[in-house]
Amino acid sequence: MPGSTQLRLGRRQFLAGTCELAAGASLKDRAPGQARREAVQRYDFQGEIRRYRKIDAHNHLLSAPPRAVIEAADRLEIERLAISIPQGDQPGEFRASNDRVLKAMAEFPQRFLGQCFVNPAYPREAIEELLRCIGRGMVGLGELYTQVKIDDPLCYPLIEKCIELRIPILMHVRGDLGLLRKGHRLEAPATTSTPDDLAAIGRRYPEAIVIHAHIGGGGDWEYMCKRLRDVPSVYVDTSGSVTDEGMIEFAVRHLGASRLLFATDENFESGVGKILAADLTEEERRMIFRENFNRILKKRENRAD
């Protein structure tokens, strides 16, 4: 298990306990000078990377070409990656983004799982594009971005179509202070979905497979998990650049390991690292790294193992 319990200090514990907690950290209860002579089983980073099969539930072709993404995935032993290009407000533009994803899927058919991006502000074109992409082998809708909030009625036809197709909907969500509380600076468009919006849509469509993107993607992850605790149909992916100590354990405690999906959102090392570092059971790690998303894929018998 990576990290001792002494190292698992959350920000709150640290602030409450003053620096003694941090400074004493892993050497607590040992006599000075004695600690370093004890036999310590070293953490095998490469071995731990190889130990778990992984499907990345949320990634993109944005900052790097397909081959570079595959090479990055290889370094972290990620077998398959759900990818999208959430760019383009107009129908012609989002079709072009999806065409690039389809091309990458054709180039690496065993590695890329396509996700279809649309702008729900164009309901007819969005449905047509979703059907086109699913027909060509994509596995889900998303990452829907900031054009329309997920609980806007414009999204209802798309969600109902996804229920019919038994495919997941990956939704970009932010829990920034500026979005959650009036009067604070907005860092994202006002049309960005919040955890409150996800909870609302999860209650409206409990049969939908809705995925709350990146609890580590910026925003108050404690708020996110607590808001979704009693909305069991909503999954949460673990991606994002935030790797706060205790975040994954908090999510497991409030949502359960069966609702968490391993993902990187282009943050490969921290995507894997935060799951390896978390105080989880072997079974929980396997569920999060691969089994939960594979189970979602099986609902359509589409590209699951």
Partner 1 sequence: MDKHGVDKCVIANINGVFYKNTQPANEELFRAIKPYRHRFIPFAVINPTYADWEHDLDVCRGGLEMSGVRLYPQYHDYEVTHPACIELVNAAREYKMAVAFSLRLVDGRQRSWLDVDRQLSLDDIASVVDKAPQARFIVLHALIGREKPATVTTLERADLVFDTIYGSGCGVAGPVAYDLAAAIRKYGKNRFAFGTAAPFRDYVSPFLRIEVMKEADDDTKRLIWAGNAQRILGIGRQGLAEALVETRDGGHGDNRSPEG
Residues 7-26 binding partner 1 (CB under 8 A) are 7-9, 11, 14-15, 18-26
Distance CA(189)–CA(81), nearest Å, equals 27
Window of 151-159, 201-209, 235-243, 289-297 that interacts with partner 1 by CB under 8 A: 235-243
Q: Is 276 in the site for partner 1 (CB under 8 A)?
A: yes
| Complex with partner 1: residue 65 or 206, whichever CB lies closer | 65
Q: Is 181 in the site for partner 1 (CB under 8 A)?
A: yes
The footprint of partner 1 on residues 191-230 (CB under 8 A) is 218-221
Residue in 98, 194, 270, 292 binding partner 1, rule: CB under 8 A = 270
| Complex with partner 1: residue 190 or 301, whichever CB lies closer | 190
| Complex with partner 1: residue 125 or 249, whichever CB lies closer | 249
Indicate the pairing of strand 55-60 with strand 80-84. Answer: parallel
DSSP state of 219: B
| Complex with partner 1: residue 209 or 224, whichever CB lies closer | 224
Q: Are the C-beta atoms of residues 209 and 245 closer than 8 Å to each other?
A: no
Q: Is 64 in the site for partner 1 (CB under 8 A)?
A: yes
Closest contact distance (angstroms) between CB of 208 and partner 1 is 26
Please count the residues of this chain forming the interface with partner 1, following the rule CB under 8 A.
71
Q: Is 244 in the site for partner 1 (CB under 8 A)?
A: yes
For the range 30-33, what are the long-range contacts, defined as Cβ-Cβ under 8 Å and sequence gap of 24 or more? none
Residue in 238, 267, 292, 294 binding partner 1, rule: CB under 8 A = 267
| Complex with partner 1: residue 288 or 296, whichever CB lies closer | 288
Distance CA(111)–CA(54), nearest Å, equals 11
For residue 171, give the nearest of 131, 134, 120 by alpha carbon.
120
| Complex with partner 1: residue 10 or 91, whichever CB lies closer | 10
The footprint of partner 1 on residues 141-180 (CB under 8 A) is 174-177
DSSP 166-210: T-EEEE-B-B-HHHHSTTSPPSS-TT-B-HHHHHHHHHH-TTSEE
3-class DSSP state of 82? strand
Distance CA(296)–CA(209), nearest Å, equals 8
The footprint of partner 1 on residues 81-140 (CB under 8 A) is none
Residue whose pair of structure tokens reads 């449905």 in the numeric block:
127
Q: Is 245 in the site for partner 1 (CB under 8 A)?
A: yes
Neighbouring CB atoms inside 10 A of 167's CB total 24
